[in-house]
Amino acid sequence: MSEGLVNAIADMREEEAIQMVRDMLAKGAKPMAILDAARQAMDIIGQRYEKGIYFLPELMLAGEMMGQIAEILKPKLAESPEVRRLGKVLMGTVKGDIHDIGKNIVCFMLDANGFEVLDLGVDVPPQKFVEALRDFQPQVVGLSGFLTLAFESMKETVDAIKAAGLRGQVKIMIGGGQVNEQVSQYVGADAYGRDAVSGVSLAKKWVGVQ
Amino acid sequence: MNHQLSPDEKREALWQGKLSPKDPQGNPLPFQSPEAEKKYKERVLRVRTAIEMEKLPDRVPVTVFPSMFPWKYAGMTVQEAMYDYERCAAAFKKFILDFDPDLQWGAYAPGPGKFFEILDYKLYSWPGHGVAPEHCYQCNEGEYMKPEEYDALIQDPTGYFIHVYLPRVFGALGGFPMLPFFPGILEMYGLALTFIPFGLPPVQATFQALFEAGAEALKWVTPIGGVDVELATLGYPTLLGGFTKAPFDVIGDTLRGTKGIMVDIYRRPEKLLKAMEVLTPLMIQMGVNSAQATGNPLIFIPLHKGADGFLSDEHFRKFYWPTLKEVILGLIEGGCVPLPAAEGGYSSRLEVVKDLPRGKTVWMIDLTDMADVKKTLGQNACLLGNVPSALLNLGTPEEVKEYVRRIIEVAGKDGGLIVANGSFFDEARPENVKAMIEAAKEYGVY
């Protein structure tokens, strides 16, 4: 039964998947078991994205399906489930830039790969990154930006992290739009990611996985 | 005159119009010097020859197709460029004179700030309205068309825009939903009933806003359009006739939004395909009309959601490319020169898009490797690009020159290349932009 659900989600059969969740609940399945199946499906979707089989339509539909399933299960879950996490990543689009499609994909992929992600949203000032760094204690910070103005904002953010004395505690990756190795060096990041997949590999490498 | 012009005759007429330019009154354009006239004509021919790929131009043409860089270079904020039309125009003129490119693209990018205020434009944030004074305006991504509205869009796109979409993205057009159903205006009987909405305060307020917006647009276009004429008299042609979009991007950028269109591929593929089919002739008409109105053959098509990483090859071939191809071919049929801009990476699409009529399109290339593009798409299409924003921003003039030398080497030896920036940029070191232009002039001589 739960294998059927995993496949329905992973193969993008949305209506069928949601119906299966309702049927399983009606037949007395444990909400946690359903949630586990949904998580397994997200793993498969993440792997297919990494292999270049899936792209934005699949990731976005997966996000929609996950949201619907969580909504159905929420009243039935006594407490929020504990999950083993690989590490923490702080994400945000830097000051002045309000683009978020790329950043959201990276967040989704990090989450699917077992990271705990705190997304600060768009147009995030350097000081807000610093504060979140203190509170959230991530191992990795991801700075996103689409426009050329982001080069300067990323540099300001990295400088603010340095000034706060926190640079040694985190690895910083940048990505988006026109970002490349040259930009990475200029802003003082540890690396840049060409796409969400390389963002995930960087984060994994830095927390010591694989 | 019953003679229907063929596509090539229409295009020839546009090019001939460019070679014998007129002032706004329709008289021959008074060039400021014989050298200016000579340079102007050489530049039009140089670019045309590069595009048509039948023979080699005298050298590789070079241009800068920036976003807000000209105004940053002038020391202005984007806000100033959007609100002070005279200074905006003067700064753009100085930018062209200082950098001396073969082709200029007009001072239209900032747009009139007050005009957007009058209409209470919600689709974008701009300086003073959600964006800092020194930054460029940015789109507010969202779902501006609901999924259940596909049928309305398909049945009557214009009606849908007037009654539903435009009032959503312009706060001042709140009277539009009350407008009559225009195809119902048929006979004398009952006609006056149809016109009652025009007497109602919300509709009248909407029209008042439209009058003001129109007046502001005119106030803006006088100096801004004037720069095109003045620069032409100084020897700098523009060829930009307007823009249109890929039907997939029309829906994905500003109607359904990115998430909306991506899930529609799975949830309602037939409706999406049908809507794109309905939009296709309108997008062709949009480009052809503006080329005819401006007398400029190039129709810019910014490509967004078909880039590498957005869609699978299967989805690109099924959802993105067929209607874009139809738009490109329709523009060619209408006498235009389509200028698709392959923003981001396009490596995985080259094999799909390469088979276009030779010498009829220009493709702006961003992050895709120019040697790869030349071997595929570049066999049939002139390429424009692709000096990276990062390099213009953070590199040295020597690095820029070396980059330009390389793209001429790999993509320009047998023509079909216009050296330019690869994507729109606001920030750059001026000496790097100069180096790009100088390098093309130095290394690009055939």
Rounded to a whole number, what is the distance in Å from the CA of B205 to chain A's nearest CA?
32
Contact A61 B141 (CB under 8 A): no
Determine the residue among A18, A123, A178 to mutate to test chain B binding: the one whose Cβ has the most chain B Cβ atoms within 10 Å. A178
Q: Is the pLDDT of residue B131 over 60?
A: yes
**pLDDT tens track for B34-68:** 999 999 999 999 999 999 999 999 999 999 999 99
**pLDDT tens track for B286-321:** 999 999 999 999 999 999 999 999 999 999 999 999
The reported pTM is 0.94
Average pLDDT over residues B126-130: 96
**pLDDT tens track for A193-203:** 988 989 999 99
Looking at residue B206, what is its pLDDT? 98
Question: How far apart are alpha carbons B296 and B287 in whole angstroms?
Answer: 11
Average pLDDT over residues B202-228: 98
Chain B residues within 8 angstroms (CB to CB) of chain A: 125, 130-132, 134-136, 138, 140-141, 258-259, 262-263, 265-267, 305, 309-312, 315, 367, 388-391, 393-395, 423, 425-428
Confidence class for position B92, pLDDT limits 50, 70, 90: very high
Rounded to a whole number, what is the distance in Å from the CA of B23 to chain A's nearest CA?
37
Looking at residue B2, what is its pLDDT? 54
* Chain B positions in Cβ-Cβ contact with residue A152 (cut-off 8 Å): 427
* Contact call for residues B89 and B111 (beta carbons, < 8 A): no
Q: What is the DSSP letter of B33?
A: S
Burial class (CB in 10 A: 0-12, 13-18, 19+), B224: buried
Looking at residue A82, what is its pLDDT? 63
| Nearest CB to B393 within list A12, A101, A151 | A151
Question: How far apart are alpha carbons B300 and B305 in whole angstroms?
Answer: 16
Rounded to a whole number, what is the distance in Å from the CA of A98 to chain B's nearest CA?
7
| Nearest CB to B315 within list A57, A60, A97 | A57
Q: Is the pLDDT of residue B197 over 60?
A: yes
Give phi and psi for B427, each to the nearest 5.
-105, 140
Q: Is the pLDDT of residue A178 over 80?
A: yes
**pLDDT tens track for B151-196:** 999 999 999 999 999 999 999 999 999 999 999 999 999 999 999 9
Give phi and psi for B285, each to the nearest 5.
-60, -40
Question: How far apart are alpha carbons A11 and A7 in whole angstroms?
Answer: 6
Identity of residue A97: D
Looking at residue A84, what is its pLDDT? 65
* Contact call for residues B57 and B49 (beta carbons, < 8 A): yes
pLDDT averaged over every residue in chain B: 97
**pLDDT tens track for A84-139:** 689 999 999 999 999 988 999 999 889 888 899 999 999 999 999 999 999 999 99
Q: Is the pLDDT of residue B268 over 60?
A: yes
| Nearest CB to A178 within list B141, B309, B388 | B388
Looking at residue B41, what is its pLDDT? 97
**pLDDT tens track for B370-423:** 999 999 999 999 999 999 999 999 999 999 999 999 999 999 999 999 999 999
Sign of the CA dihedral with B49 first, then B55, B59, and B63 last:
positive
Q: How far apart are the first and last CA of chain B?
A: 43
Looking at residue B199, what is its pLDDT? 97
Rounded to a whole number, what is the distance in Å from the CA of B69 to chain A's nearest CA?
10
Beta strands in B174-293 (DSSP E): 240-243
